[in-house]
Structure 1
Amino acid sequence: MTGTRRAVLTGAVARLREAGVASPEHDAAELLAHVLGTSRSQLPLVDEVPSEALTAYDALIARRAEREPLQHLTGTAYFRHVELAVGPGVFVPRPETELLAGWAIEQAAVVTGRAPVVVDLCTGSGAVAKAIADEVPGAVVHAVELDEPAHQWAERNLSDTAVDLRLGDMATAFDDLLGTVDVLTCNPPYIPLDAWESVAAEARDHDPHLALFSGADGLDAIRVLERRAALLLRSGGVIGFEHADAQGEAAPAVFTATGRWTDVRDHPDLAGRARFTTARLAR
């Protein structure tokens, strides 16, 4: 049994929309391209979907309708200019985090006279670390991840880079780098424990909870981050970290309250939502 591309996609989109998937057209097309071994842009060249591909596609659409992340189904996530392997056990990098990575790349690029030293805490899949290594090839990049399954994904993604990847806790990582880091990045857990029901099913049911939840107000990990960053950064070094859109005031306040930081600023994502904070260690 075969089906026309148009009919197959129309049926898949309807199933995904009914299941509450946020981007049914995009996801239906991506999955069809995946099973056909082509790209979404090349799908218009396909007239008929062969029976074997149709069976595989139907199975993937059923899993996506159950809100399994698209990237788990394809095994791939794209982040800035790099490709990442992802799947169960690792946080799927979000497009909005590309803005944080872009800021870090700009900051590393302006270090002169020596190789910039960059640290990525809570590296997860290694997305930010890999993007920095890719776009600032002269940088010395270090990354750490606490969760062992996620660390294994990061190992896979960073195996073709010179990134120094370690397994460990951001609260104690990199004692050998104290006072030497130019740029520090982190996408920490920041969801309050009582916000469980508000989290999208793709994240709540499939991303590691260690990467999502952080105490009653969602700021526990950010408080730890502030203390560790103050030790790792050199005088005048900078930090950038992601937070929830509802923490546009609370997250920067963690840093301003200690008196250790200058230039504490919050930044919006492309939708205008508060997304990440940057700060400079006072000289």
Structure 2
Amino acid sequence: MLPSSDLSAVVSRLRSAGCVFAEDEAALLVSTARTPAELAAMVERRVDGHPLEHVLGWAEFCGLRIAVDPGVFVPRRRTEFLVRQAVAARPGAGVVVDLCCGSGAVGAALAASLPGVELYAADIEPAAVRCARRNVPEGGQVHEGDLFAALPDVLRGRVDILAANVPYVPTEEVGLLPAEARVHEPIVALDGGADGLDVLRRVTGEAGKWLAPGGILLFETSERQAAVAVEAVARSGLTPRVAASDELYATVVIGSKLPS
């Protein structure tokens, strides 16, 4: 345990660097660092603009501690709403896929809430795949590749929950993101194309082939993009609906495949 005097010094350093939640961040850094030298290095990285989760090496998500390596997309707290929607809609799910998985946080959280599920995760980023393999529970599989091409073919028609954390920031708006995201997270996890929905359309176009009867596709989008996203889901043959959380500033589009 490091001296409590370190806490006030770290708070001052973070506050002077513009960290809005300096007290909370300082407490996490002080409790995580094993030595004064490690603490100093962590504080400098945070002051230089690295995401807090990259500095700590983990993020809290749905009550779990998720390992987050440098260069890997940081799971957002608002995405917990997507997890809750999935569990509420398919509490008896047997097969879960976490597509565009990043750290694997969504898949890990779904597996924790739905004991006994078959869990598969996939991402195109090698760093994300390595990180996700540390987070998914024993028995879960993590595959590297581009969307559905990464998944085992035997999953076609068997997926009960398909959670796709697709990028949805329009290309011209990526430069407006906070430096923590646009500098330290992979662009492929942020840039969704001209209107932000390019990857989403690719997912909705194929999702029906992979979902089991009664299975659901879930993805996040912005409130202003929701109407277009709903149209994409409907064109794919799935039945769309929108769920929103004012508390978490989250908008989730859900596409359901009709039971056979």
CA contact (8 A) 2:204 2:236 kept: no
Measure, in 1, the Cα distance between the counterparts of 2:82 and 2:246. 9
Confirm whether residue 30 of structure 1 aligns to residue 25 of structure 2. no
CA distance in 2, matches of 1:153, 1:259: 32
2:79 to 94, 97, 104: 97
In 2, the alpha carbon distance for the partners of 1:102 and 1:89 equals: 27
After superposing the two structures, state which structure 1 stretch, 13-22 or 91-100, moved more: 13-22
Over 3 Å counting, the alpha-carbon distance change for 1:67 and 1:214 in structure 2 is: same
The 1:9–1:241 alpha-carbon spacing in structure 2 relative to 1, beyond 3 Å, is same
1:278 and 2:257 aligned: no
Residue in 1 aligned with 2:124? 146
Provide runs of 4+ in structure 1 moved above 6 Å: none
Contiguous gaps of at least 5 residues in structure 1 = 38-51
Q: How far off its partner does 1:11 sit?
A: 3.9
Contact 2:73 2:128 in 1 (8 A): yes
Matched position secondary structure for 1:102: helix
Question: For residue 68 of structure 1, what is the aligned residue in structure 2?
Answer: 50
Give the match for residue 106 of structure 1.
88
* TM score, norm. by length of structure 2: 0.89
Q: Describe the SS at the equivalent of 2:97.
A: strand
Taking the aligned partners of 2:245 and 2:252, their CA distance within structure 1 comes to: 7
Query: Residue 170 of structure 1 contacts residue 228 of structure 1 at CA under 8 Å; is this kept in 2?
Result: no
CA contact (8 A) 1:122 1:145 kept: yes
1:21 corresponds in structure 2 to: 19
Q: Hey, what's the Cα distance between the residues in 2 that align with 1:196 and 1:15?
A: 29
TM-score under structure 1 normalisation?
Answer: 0.82
In structure 2, the residue matched to 1:199 is 177
Q: Alpha-carbon deviations, 1:136-171, whole Å to 9, x = none? A: 11211211111111111111222x421122112114
Residues 92, 114 of structure 2: 8 Å contact kept: no
In structure 2, the CA distance between the partners of 1:4 and 1:138, relative to structure 1 (3 Å rule), is closer
Change (3 A) 1:20 1:276: farther
Task: Using the TM superposition, give the Cα deviation of residue 179 of structure 1 relative to its aligned residue in structure 2, in angstroms.
Answer: 1.5
Identity of aligned residues (%): 36
Residue 149 of structure 2 aligns to a residue whose secondary structure is coil
Partner SS for 1:237 = strand
CA gap 1:176/1:82 in 2 versus in 1, 3 angstroms = same
Shift in Å, 1:117: 1.4
**Cα separation, 2, equivalents of 1:250 and 1:20:** 37
CA drift at 1:241: 0.8
Per-residue deviation, 1:254: 2.2
Q: Structure 2 unaligned runs (5+)?
A: none
Q: 1:267 aligns with which of 231, 244, 256?
A: 244
Whether contact under 8 Å (2:162, 2:218) holds in the other structure is: yes
Q: CA deviation at 1:59?
A: 2.9
1:75-126: per-residue Cα shift (whole Å, max 9, x none)?
1222113222212131111111111112222334235xxxx11111111111
Q: Structure 1 residues 246 and 274 mapped into 2: Cα distance closer, same or farther (>3 Å)?
A: farther
Would you say the 8 A contact 1:96–1:269 is kept in 2? no
**1:248 aligned residue:** 226
Of 67, 78, 102 in structure 2, the residue corresponding to residue 85 of structure 1 is 67
Q: Is the 8 A contact 1:105 1:135 kept in 2?
A: yes
Instruction: Spell out, residue by residue over 1:40-99, the C-alpha distance to the aligned partner (whole angstroms, 9 max, x if none).
Output: xxxxxxxxxxxx62x433332222111111111111222113222212131111111111
The alpha carbon displacement at 1:259 in A equals 5.9
* RMSD between aligned residues: 2.2
Partner of 1:157: 135
CA contact (8 A) 1:171 1:224 kept: no
CA distance in 1, matches of 2:218, 2:246: 14
Q: Is the 8 A contact 1:267 1:275 kept in 2?
A: yes
